[in-house]
């Protein structure tokens, strides 16, 4: 459905062209490397779906390589503008706020090359982009929609042992965005409640729009396809396989699964259970990039753990299909796209009962949610589900049905509705102010 078709049935006009700000990480980066993760997937997938509906999308991000062109196409109707702001490489995430000014200047220069009113709306992702969005919104005279993805107050409230708390400067920056943005978009009702509780946000200014999964890419495999996937990954057909997919950092808690594996092996040493870890070091995990490997060795399960580099969806689908269970033990997760993708492939998920994961996973039907991060508790739940073939098969059948309720097309529709309402309210306020 195009914008014109949606417009005819909409109460408010829909945007023709939007500027998307993703300062700290490019939507074209491989998820699972550096700071690239679910946010990257969200930005790219929603941009492509919006473009299919006739909305032109320009994504502004910070250039990280000298070889990157100023502008790249990311699909029909989607442009990625690589803004030079600071050194291309070697800049830590903690240092990125120092490069906000040159990034904003680059965004302003790009907009200055167009006729006035080129963009109808700005959608910023993560707090650093939100700060840039506040400036652009004021200068361009267009509304700012913001999606936080993660929040400092929430992360610090559930900090993993040994992890570094988010700085006060981030919390202050987030508060400024909450106070000044024209609309906040969140993934779940729980995230909306966190904004109200920790940042005193007005619930009337928040829209809940669930993320999705690429349901064309992530689909259940056949028995033969699963066998092929296991061969490609070097896994025995009869092995019990648990998979962890994500960035290797304390927040994502991959150590919990390694410790749970060690607990299973300690009590059942002859059990043929293996763990796949797919991802790269990120965040505070960069300080000890081999720490998870060292932990597996220390616990005596190194021979049962396979570490794989991050991979594109066309290859990641084989990881999901090869696994008996996908584990998502995060301490904080605004939604959990890995959980959704795994279920779309027909793989049950065992996830921490935090953030959006209880929404992403239908507890008892498509997977199980676990309170806390005690490795022994996780070992009991994982081993119990591996033992229960009937339950696991039932979950495998129900998982794709549950996942089908979360598509990127639905997300795009929700965003367009939010954009239309935001634009109408913004124009009404400006008209009222001009008349007074």
247 is in an annotated binding site: yes
Q: What whole-number distance in Å separates Cα of residue 298 and Cα of residue 207?
A: 46
pLDDT at 48: 97
Give Rg (Cα) of the chain: 22
Q: Which of 132, 133, 127, 44 is nearest to 93 (CA)?
A: 127
Distance of CA 116 to the CA centre of its chain: 33
231 belongs to an annotated ligand binding site: no
Tell me the torsion sign for CA atoms 165, 136, 186, 425.
positive
Q: Annotated binding residue at 62? A: no
CATH classification of 223-403 is 3.40.50.2000, yes or no? yes
Q: Are 149 and 130 in contact (CB under 8 A)?
A: no
- Is 87 labeled as ligand-binding? no
28 in the Ramachandran plot: left (φ > 0), alpha (ψ -120 to 50) or beta?
Answer: alpha
CB 269 within 8 A of CB 261: no
Nearest alpha carbon to residue 420 among 46, 20, 12, 122: 12
Measuring CA to CA, how many Å separate 79 from each of 44, 86, 200?
A: 10, 22, 35
- Gap between the Cα atoms of 187 and 309, Å rounded: 28
75: its two tokens: 């699909």
Q: What angle do CA 131, 134, 140 make, to 5 degrees?
A: 140
pLDDT score for 282: 55
Residue 238 among known ligand-binding residues: no
SS3 329: coil
The reply, when asked if residue 199 is annotated as ligand binding, is no
Residue 311 annotated in ligand binding: yes
CA distance 74 to 59: 9
51 is in an annotated binding site: no
Q: How far apart are CA 355 and CA 194, in angstroms?
A: 9
3-state helix, strand and coil shares in percent for the chain, rounded to the nearest 5: 50, 15, 35
| 378 close to 355: Cβ distance less than 8 angstroms | no
Instruction: Give the pLDDT of residue 211.
Output: 96
Taking the CA atoms of 172, 178, 182 and 187 in sequence, report the sign of the dihedral they define: positive
The first and second tokens of residue 260, run together, are: 């749970």
Determine whether the annotation assigns residue 230 to a binding site: no
Q: Binding residue per annotation — 121?
A: no
Per-residue pLDDT of the chain (436 residues), as tens digits, is 455 444 544 456 789 999 999 998 889 988 776 677 889 999 999 999 999 999 999 999 999 888 899 999 999 999 999 999 988 877 777 889 999 999 999 999 999 888 889 999 999 999 999 999 999 999 999 999 999 999 999 999 988 877 889 999 999 999 999 999 999 999 999 999 999 999 999 999 999 999 999 999 999 988 898 999 999 999 999 999 999 999 898 999 999 999 999 999 999 999 999 999 999 875 444 444 488 999 999 999 999 999 999 999 999 999 999 999 999 999 999 899 999 999 999 999 999 999 999 999 999 999 999 999 999 999 999 999 999 999 999 999 999 999 999 999 999 999 999 999 999 999 999 888 888 7
Q: Does an H or E element contain 270, and which?
A: none
Q: Write out pLDDT tens, residues 369-397.
A: 999 999 999 999 999 999 999 999 999 99
Is the fold of 3-212+407-435 the same as that of 223-403?
yes
**Binding residue per annotation — 36?**
yes
Q: Is 347 annotated in some ligand binding site?
A: yes
Q: Tell me: domain 3-212+407-435, CATH 3.40.50.2000, correct?
A: yes
- Strand order in 206-208's β-sheet? 71-73, 78-83, 56-62, 17-21, 121-125, 144-147, 183-186, 206-208
Say if residue 323 carries a ligand binding annotation: yes
176 known member of a binding site: no
Instruction: Write down the residue that tokens 């809940």 correspond to.
Output: 208
Is 37 one of the annotated binding-site residues?
Answer: yes
Residues in the chain: 436
Q: Tell me if 187 is assigned to a ligand binding site.
A: no
**321 marked ligand binding residue:** yes
Sorted by sequence, the CB contacts under 8 Å of residue 192 that are 6+ apart come out as 186, 201, 203, 206, 208
Q: Establish whether 431 is an annotated binding residue.
A: no
The domain segmentation of the chain, as residue ranges, is 3-212+407-435, 223-403
């Amino acid at each position: 459905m195009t914008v014109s078709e949606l417009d005819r049935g909409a109460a408010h006009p829909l945007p023709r062209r939007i500027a998307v700000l993703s300062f700290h990480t490019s939507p074209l980066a491989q998820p699972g490397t550096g700071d690239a993760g679910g946010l990257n997937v969200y930005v790219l997938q929603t941009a492509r779906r919006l473009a299919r509906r006739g909305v032109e999308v320009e994504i502004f991000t910070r250039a990280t390589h000298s070889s990157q062109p100023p502008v790249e196409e990311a699909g029909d109707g989607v442009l990625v503008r690589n803004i030079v702001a600071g050194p291309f490489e070697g800049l830590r995430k903690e240092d990125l706020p120092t490069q906000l000014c040159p990034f904003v200047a680059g965004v302003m220069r790009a907009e200055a090359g167009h006729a006035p009113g080129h963009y109808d709306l700005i959608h910023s992702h993560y707090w650093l982009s939100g700060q840039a969005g506040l400036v652009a919104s004021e200068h361009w005279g267009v509304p700012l929609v913001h999606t936080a993805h993660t929040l400092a107050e929430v992360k610090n409230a559930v900090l993993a042992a040994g992890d570094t708390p988010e700085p006060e400067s981030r919390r202050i920056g987030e508060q400024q965005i909450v106070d000044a943005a024209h609309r906040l978009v969140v993934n779940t009702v729980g995230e909306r409640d966190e904004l109200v509780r920790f940042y005193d946000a007005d619930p009337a200014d928040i829209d809940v729009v669930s993320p999705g999964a690429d349901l064309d890419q992530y689909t259940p495999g056949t028995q033969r396809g699963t066998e092929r996937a296991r061969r490609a990954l070097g896994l025995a057909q009869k092995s019990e396989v648990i998979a962890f997919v994500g960035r290797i950092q304390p927040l994502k808690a991959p150590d919990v699964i390694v410790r749970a594996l060690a607990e299973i092996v300690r009590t059942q040493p002859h059990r043929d259970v293996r763990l796949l870890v797919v991802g790269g070091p990120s965040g505070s995990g960069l300080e000890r990039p081999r720490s998870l490997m060292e932990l597996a060795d220390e616990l005596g399960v190194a021979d049962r753990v396979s570490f794989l580099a991050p991979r594109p969806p066309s290859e990641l689908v084989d990881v999901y299909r090869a696994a008996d269970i996908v584990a998502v033990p995060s301490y904080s997760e605004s939604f959990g796209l890995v959980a959704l993708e795994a279920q779309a492939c027909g793989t049950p998920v065992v996830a921490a009962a935090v953030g959006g994961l209880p929404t992403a996973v239908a507890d008892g039907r498509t997977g199980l949610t676990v309170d806390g991060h005690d490795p022994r508790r996780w070992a009991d739940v994982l081993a119990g589900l591996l033992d229960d073939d009937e339950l696991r098969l039932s979950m495998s059948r129900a998982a794709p049905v549950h996942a089908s309720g979360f598509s990127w097309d639905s997300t795009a529709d929700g965003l367009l509705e939010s954009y239309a309402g935001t634009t109408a309210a913004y124009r009404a306020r400006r008209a009222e102010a001009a008349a007074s």
